[in-house]
Structure 1
Amino acid sequence: MNGWWILGGVLLIEGLMPLLFTQAWRQTFEKLLQLRDGQIRFIGFLSVLAGLLILLFSR
């Protein structure tokens, strides 16, 4: 049950940007498309690391 709450929260937060700030969301993705693969992977790595640290320290 707890995992579903987390997934629901993530989807809620992720959906707010395109719902409320459509133009800014579109511009952000246009900028992301200009990044190299290595840069995108690094951003993904930092995001995963931040998520893991939040989970570890919130226990």
Structure 2
Amino acid sequence: MSSDSLWLALGLMLVMEGLLPFASPAQWRQLFARLMALTDGQIRFIGLLSMLAGIALLLALS
């Protein structure tokens, strides 16, 4: 993977992260409040699933 691809992926990730707060700030705030109520273990599990999905997507595209 070239450094250009890495920067492109990072830029795309930032755009995706900003979509919900831009389009619906009230809904984003509610989602964030629900996330704050989760335990550390639940948050880690969500992070693990997210990383595995990302790895699977990268492997499928390469």
- C-alpha separation in 2, matches of 1:3 and 1:17: 23
Deviation at 1:52, TM superposition (A): 0.3
Aligned residues: 59
Correspondence for 1:17: 20
For residues 11-50 of structure 1, give each alpha carbon's deviation from its aligned partner in whole angstroms, at most 9, with x where no partner exists.
Answer: 0011111011101100001000111110000000000000
Runs of 4+ in 1 over 3 A off after TM superposition: none
Give the alignment partner of residue 37 of structure 1, picking from 27, 36, 40.
40
Alpha-carbon RMSD across the aligned residues, in angstroms, is 0.6
* TM-score, length-scaled by structure 1: 0.96
Structure 1 gap ranges (5+)? none
Query: Identity over the aligned pairs, expressed in percent?
Result: 49
Structure 2 gap ranges (5+)? none
